[in-house]
Structure 1
């Protein structure tokens, strides 16, 4: 036996103060183990979150027996490998302390040969309470650090914010969309690895220069050798082979092999080309026999963040293989409060939904985790670029030597783990901290600075700079050379003065615009505040009725009930939704209708924002809304709820993020403008058809215009006056239907535009006819309406998505919809016949009055 690996299973756990051991699931955590053992109620149900805050105040212990064969004991090296311990963990083997972990995001490897023997052994891990552990750090510091989303009061801690001291997922301590469950446990695999020969712990394919004609690469092969000697190092990929004689030294060394691939198949983001992936295999040979090997899969591409001065400020966009990319997507948070509950299937559902919605980027936000490998593999596969935050958000952090060293090692582990993924477009230091503290603007930021003395402020900012201006960029430069690093989002640039901090009118850097929602500004301001890259903006809605009923009883379905407020983490968020609904929509007939109409409201807001950003291309080159997903069932900014169900927003995103967008901008100063945004690399050429229709049916006026939009271009192709279009007719009774046809007469896009807000339209009650078909093995439903039907919504008993939803039906014009179920690898969404389809329009949700037809 020269190599041996064994995963450690059969775990049990208990509270340190208890005697009874209970079965545990690893990977897992205390909360999920307690739930499986029937010791606690469903954490997500009702107000149970409040009753479970005792869990994080206790120490917890995990234990397992494992057997080592005699042959494995004879190996030269025998290591215990812990891929993820959450968080303060004392790890003992056969009663001897091997090491103490203190960072959830690190991998721990320790030689255990001195502590084990052939036959039965036992591993014991004591997880010290992160609350008890960090109270002493707060006391030692002498003052608290800002941590706006740390729900310390819910946790029984008053104003003592402890999340900043632990290198642990910040959202575990609560956020304005998530609960407070401060977990402990073994959240990634634990195994034993033994060997007596050389091994290759790591293989990095550094992409030095990648062009269409040639890719110049360097393979960095990390070799661990038990003794000095010589061996042949061979690298293969796509039928090519490179080899080198390696002089090995005892211990760990890195051998570099230059590689050249002619006419490489490039990796492209979704919509621009193929996501080709190369498999590179490194082998170490002794006398012609492979004694060690390692493989990685990567895509060949050049990517850079382009920030160049121009007459308006400075650009901010990603260039992929020489092509400027308009980044379309959303911010990603962890898919569950209990991370190990997220299966590969749930990851695929999210990433496939992003691709199905026309996205090409997800931002892994800094208050969660460095995601599992499968997430990045799926992004590689689907062509979804990743903006990768380091795990710091909305807080100031300590900067003592122990903390900085922990951050340094955390960054090394995760940059090394993820650097081969072609989807990684950017490493970002943190979320919103520079803007929140606003070091160089005394009146700026979130008001944090006023709570500290000048000496404390100086130290807090110095600690910030140590982490985000020194430790993290050094890690990126050392372990992923050539990758771009952005210190904080949002940011203008590291100017060292008041011009450093981004704001809603910044003409450089990236912007988080929250005037709509937090400042209760009107939706129309999305057309006003458009920056170079919109990396955050959003609007809340409730999940659908089925999802709400997973945590609330029927009698609790009321806006201000205790349960509904417990599942609204953004303060007065429920009332804010109602306030906006009063501004833009009619009154819902009941609370169930309110749930769905909140989704219409959210979709209206995000559609306006996304299309404003895209019409501003190339000034604006990115639109990432907040947020893609949820970590529990809740009212939030997500477009896909906790159960994977698409809200109205996700369907609207699919239209607004299509590669060729037809967009109609509102009648500012009596003018309607028509835009075609072309994110493809082919010329769009055809005809624009504009029709004025009465909402009861009948065409009033038609206008045609030839259009041509260059590859990767954006054009305002036509403007028309409202008076010219309506000729004095009632704006509340008329609408525009705009279509884009290609040169073959095929319709590529259709959009509706209204001269009046929905509250000012005398909408009739439509009679919608549905005709189902199963021809060709594919279920479809064709819908027609006698009059205008706004916000038509299809629902099915079966889980899945429709090919379109939350659309308007034009009188007399049929619309055919399909249904897709999720499952399988490729394609993930597959045609299927749904069960029990229901069709409604907004008239089924609003409160009817005698004045309405």
Structure 2
């Protein structure tokens, strides 16, 4: 077989014409732009957008800085012209086929080559292929793109309707168009119109590459790897090679190799046009692709080769795996979980919004960092949220490499859409373009038709409003159904290779967004509903695809967009401009902080405590849902990242700085979880009993299991194992004072089966205190197995009632690769230790951690600062710092 393959390679190398079939050249040089009503030209960058070009020309200031977002709202009311000139090569001019490919145009654009229109674009999510044969000429060619204002184009559509669409967070008031929410009419990324975490910056531009593609005779137009049946013993694959020929070819050779070994080949006759050639074959003992934490995400190097008088090759990195989404009926309703290579998978991850409002700024290194940051804290899934974009290939490549599954929404979110035949046609092609582009990625786990459209209709009063108030219910629902129950599932079925499709997220049934016993759920009782954080433990669902809690960015990040100390108040005009959920959100943070923490007066300290609050809250949710396996088989936090500097639900801020939440995620998402919970021994009978507030501590009136008397509290410990193998180890439960004295201890051997959550025991809190004041005691629980120790900490009282003190923390600093290793040691228990230096160009390997009395913890700090500067700037903050004031 190997000799046969080598002979094929030799023939391939000496094939007639001896030239590659396809030539591709980016057309990114020499662009300039002007306002449609002006004759003044300015230099432009492609890929790019108009706002960035205007910023470089100093026509507008950075919209991310202070209040500048308001000053640039005029940009989206104008038309903009872009043009460049280029000269084709001799080989490009002699090619039989000549196409200019725009990978992304945002959004309404007419494209001209040498004054002939070659494209009329209306959808930023599509690829546009423009045949320029007969238009491309020798010498200089003029390529023009005329972008039309989506605001002026769609306001007449808004005005013409006898009803208004539900439009979620469309910030039309900031945009200066009053109540004219025109986002449902445009296939533009929804977040550009504003969201409760993002600005209103409706952009224009050639936001993805533009390529001159030329070829003659034949080319490989597409390669599709269909994984028909995959086991550890063998993988049965079908590869469909799509060959486009401009003439008949009698004997064309097509072959597939995997990791340098030929696995399939055929000699075929080609007709003019598209030829689909299917090759079936088996790979024995394949190296399987696994998610982060379960195994190696191995990628097999696949190459498809064509010899048809010319030659072409397409290389693909393929993760060979069996992936199924179960939605089976059981005694409760219908489960929802992924099965990877025969193993049930608990999905641990987060929701991702676009990483920048100006999408052309996103590059390979940014995508690598965001995916690596997810993998580094033990995530195995990212949900690409439906109000943004189908991400760049680099994102999915890194997800493949790092073992991160992708829950892929189609780009619809939180509103109803006005649908006619043209709108439906462009949606269909948008879906085809992106499903075809993504289908060979091992990371693609499921497609969802939208984000929260079912909630808009059935849960947020949309159905009642359209039917009862406007008499348009049947018509409007029919339009939505045509997208999510007809076009999109048909495209996924035809082009998705067996990838699962769900009409919405959340979704239980067509008339039910979520019900707790079927499908996925978005739970916002904690935060929007004002429920106690402990309510996570009472919320039982099959798959939690959204939940979260807000915080502010850290102080050093705030200085980047708000450097003036006079504006360092969370209600200042500048801070409120970067709090898109409004005063309501600030009130929520304060309300929850008063319930559980001592609220600092200092701005910098308030930002810090807001992050500790967020981390503690979401960590509780992570643990609650993991404890619930196998009933609940996934938890995706809202949200992973930001598109601009803002107070939000993110675990990483816009600058890539890890918040406290991201740091604690690493332990909360580890393969084995130690999950202690202090609760009422009979929550039903005693859940409303309150302890008296300590002097000076205001009670909010919110009741939870944290408020019952000590005598009625128990410490419950659960262990969760996400491994593919059992774990035997030693469980130790200790009650320890703030000064480090152990007042109670219990140790036992535990056998933890694979893929399970088990009760590890319950102890009465009063029995563990050893006569100590509960405010002076915390519980330290460890599980040691295979040389690794997993741990967690629980508290008998709310944080504001704990008797924390400012610790004395010794530091030792040693220079190391790309920075310093800092070793910390505290005299007493130090809660939520936060380390920082000036600026944001640094990274701490660990932060916001709890430090036991006498315990040493070494943290690596990546920084270019010299030792003297670093030592001087290093600051350490703990929650106890403000408890002695």
Q: CA deviation at 1:493?
A: 2.6
Aligned length: 823
* d(CA) in 2 for partners of 1:612, 1:5: 52
Q: 2:542 aligns with which of 508, 511, 532?
A: 532
Q: 2:138 aligns with which of 104, 115, 118?
A: 118
Q: Paired residue for 2:577?
A: 566
Q: Paired residue for 1:5?
A: 24
1:659-682 deviations in Å (ceiling 9; x for gaps): 111111123222211121111122
Q: CA deviation at 1:727?
A: 4.7
Label 1:732 to 1:18 Cα distance change in 2 as closer, same or farther (>3 A).
same
Q: Secondary structure at the match of 1:573?
A: helix
Alignment of 1:617-636 (within 5 A): 617-636=629-648
Q: Paired residue for 2:254?
A: 233
> Tell me, which stretches of 5 or more residues in structure 2 are unaligned?
1-18, 682-712, 865-869
Q: CA deviation at 1:428?
A: 0.5
Q: 2:745 aligns with which of 683, 696, 702?
A: 702
Q: Paired residue for 2:667?
A: 655
* d(CA) in 2 for partners of 1:570, 1:691: 42
Label 1:766 to 1:87 Cα distance change in 2 as closer, same or farther (>3 A).
same
Q: CA deviation at 1:834?
A: 9.1
> Tell me, which stretches of 5 or more residues in structure 1 are unaligned?
439-443, 823-832
Contact 1:144 1:160 in 2 (8 A): no
* d(CA) in 1 for partners of 2:521, 2:884: 41
1:230-283 deviations in Å (ceiling 9; x for gaps): 211111112331111111110112111112101111100001111111122111
Q: Paired residue for 2:706?
A: none
Label 1:712 to 1:101 Cα distance change in 2 as closer, same or farther (>3 A).
same
Q: CA deviation at 1:728?
A: 4.6
Contact 2:744 2:770 in 1 (8 A): no
* d(CA) in 2 for partners of 1:123, 1:806: 53
* d(CA) in 2 for partners of 1:607, 1:712: 20
1:406 aligns with 2:418: no
Q: CA deviation at 1:836?
A: 4.2
Q: Provide the alpha-carbon RMSD of the alignment.
A: 1.8
Q: 1:473 aligns with which of 489, 502, 508?
A: 489
Contact 1:589 1:848 in 2 (8 A): no
Q: CA deviation at 1:220?
A: 0.7
Q: CA deviation at 1:747?
A: 4.7
Q: CA deviation at 1:381?
A: 0.4
* d(CA) in 2 for partners of 1:256, 1:344: 33
Contact 1:330 1:362 in 2 (8 A): yes
1:685 aligns with 2:705: no
TM, length-normalised to structure 1: 0.94
1:11-55 deviations in Å (ceiling 9; x for gaps): 000111011110000001010110011110111111111111110
* d(CA) in 1 for partners of 2:884, 2:734: 30
Q: 1:457 aligns with which of 460, 473, 484?
A: 473
Q: CA deviation at 1:451?
A: 5.0
Q: Secondary structure at the match of 2:472?
A: helix
Q: Paired residue for 1:760?
A: 801
1:458-482 deviations in Å (ceiling 9; x for gaps): 0110011100001000000000131
Label 1:717 to 1:843 Cα distance change in 2 as closer, same or farther (>3 A).
closer
* d(CA) in 1 for partners of 2:765, 2:883: 31
Contact 1:589 1:847 in 2 (8 A): no
Q: CA deviation at 1:816?
A: 2.8
* d(CA) in 2 for partners of 1:97, 1:176: 39
Label 1:821 to 1:429 Cα distance change in 2 as closer, same or farther (>3 A).
farther
Contact 2:439 2:497 in 1 (8 A): no
Contact 1:360 1:385 in 2 (8 A): yes
Contact 1:87 1:184 in 2 (8 A): yes
* d(CA) in 2 for partners of 1:397, 1:764: 56
Q: Secondary structure at the match of 2:527?
A: helix
Q: 1:722 aligns with which of 765, 775, 791?
A: 765
Q: CA deviation at 1:773?
A: 3.6
* d(CA) in 2 for partners of 1:799, 1:43: 22
Alignment of 1:186-201 (within 5 A): 186-201=206-221
Q: Secondary structure at the match of 1:268?
A: coil
Q: Secondary structure at the match of 2:407?
A: strand
Q: 1:736 aligns with which of 776, 779, 789?
A: 779
Contact 1:150 1:175 in 2 (8 A): yes
Contact 1:42 1:48 in 2 (8 A): yes
Q: Secondary structure at the match of 2:590?
A: helix
Contact 2:743 2:770 in 1 (8 A): no
Q: Secondary structure at the match of 2:560?
A: coil
* d(CA) in 2 for partners of 1:796, 1:618: 43
Q: Paired residue for 2:704?
A: none
Q: Paired residue for 1:751?
A: 792
Q: CA deviation at 1:562?
A: 0.8
TM, length-normalised to structure 2: 0.91
Q: Paired residue for 1:485?
A: 501
Q: 2:610 aligns with which of 578, 589, 598?
A: 598
Alignment of 1:57-136 (within 5 A): 57-136=77-156
* d(CA) in 2 for partners of 1:774, 1:57: 54
Label 1:173 to 1:775 Cα distance change in 2 as closer, same or farther (>3 A).
closer
* d(CA) in 1 for partners of 2:332, 2:25: 59
* d(CA) in 1 for partners of 2:842, 2:521: 34
Q: Paired residue for 1:576?
A: 588
Contact 1:203 1:295 in 2 (8 A): no
Q: Paired residue for 1:802?
A: 844
Q: Paired residue for 2:685?
A: none
Contact 2:163 2:470 in 1 (8 A): no
* d(CA) in 2 for partners of 1:54, 1:5: 37
Q: Paired residue for 2:876?
A: 839
* d(CA) in 1 for partners of 2:310, 2:25: 22
1:261 aligns with 2:283: yes
Alignment of 1:493-508 (within 5 A): 493-494=509-510, 497=511, 500-503=512-515, 506-508=516-518
Q: CA deviation at 1:774?
A: 4.8
* d(CA) in 2 for partners of 1:309, 1:50: 51
* d(CA) in 1 for partners of 2:819, 2:442: 35
Label 1:3 to 1:264 Cα distance change in 2 as closer, same or farther (>3 A).
closer
